[in-house]
Amino acid sequence: MVCLFAQMMSRDADGRYWLISPGEKGTITVEDVPFLAVEMFTGGSGREQVVSFRTNVDELVTVDQDHPIYFADCPQTGEVVPYVTVRDGLDARLTRPVYYELVALGFEERFDDEELYGLWSSGTFFPLGRLTDPD
């Protein structure tokens, strides 16, 4: 039932979450993001690597330019946490074990004289952190 409702979920330009069925439309409250990334899959290596996640509602998302990994403050804890865009403005928070797996895939890259730690997926580099302080 949860997976069915997840397929009907959307988010508008004002950041409100909606459940839209053929017969009804209503707003719902989401405290942080609607999904969790609970499992990670990888293929290839280095710049040819592809990283994908399975969410708690069994959706698969491949990390790419349209589905980036990003970091933001969690509204409940205030901590900076990792997220991935799933679809249509809907995001998933990476669970701690999945994030640790992700970090283990990372390596150093230099962009614009800046040392970054991150990983490649679908031909795009996703920074996980800086290795040098910006001046």
CATH of the domain at 97: 2.30.270.10
Q: What pLDDT, on a 0 to 100 scale, did the predictor assign at position 66?
A: 96
Residue 5 forms part of a structural domain: no
pLDDT at residue 69 is higher than 80:
yes
**pTM, to two decimals:** 0.86
**What's the chain's average pLDDT?**
88
Q: Are 97 and 36 in contact (CB under 8 A)?
A: no
Q: What pLDDT, on a 0 to 100 scale, did the predictor assign at position 26?
A: 87
Distance CA 129, CA 126 (A): 9
> What total of structural domains would you count in the chain?
1
**Domain, as residue range, for 60:** 32-130
Residue 12 forms part of a structural domain: no
Residue 92 forms part of a structural domain: yes
Residue 22 forms part of a structural domain: no
Q: Are 96 and 74 in contact (CB under 8 A)?
A: no
Give the distance from CA 114 to its chain's centroid: 24
Q: What pLDDT, on a 0 to 100 scale, did the predictor assign at position 3?
A: 65
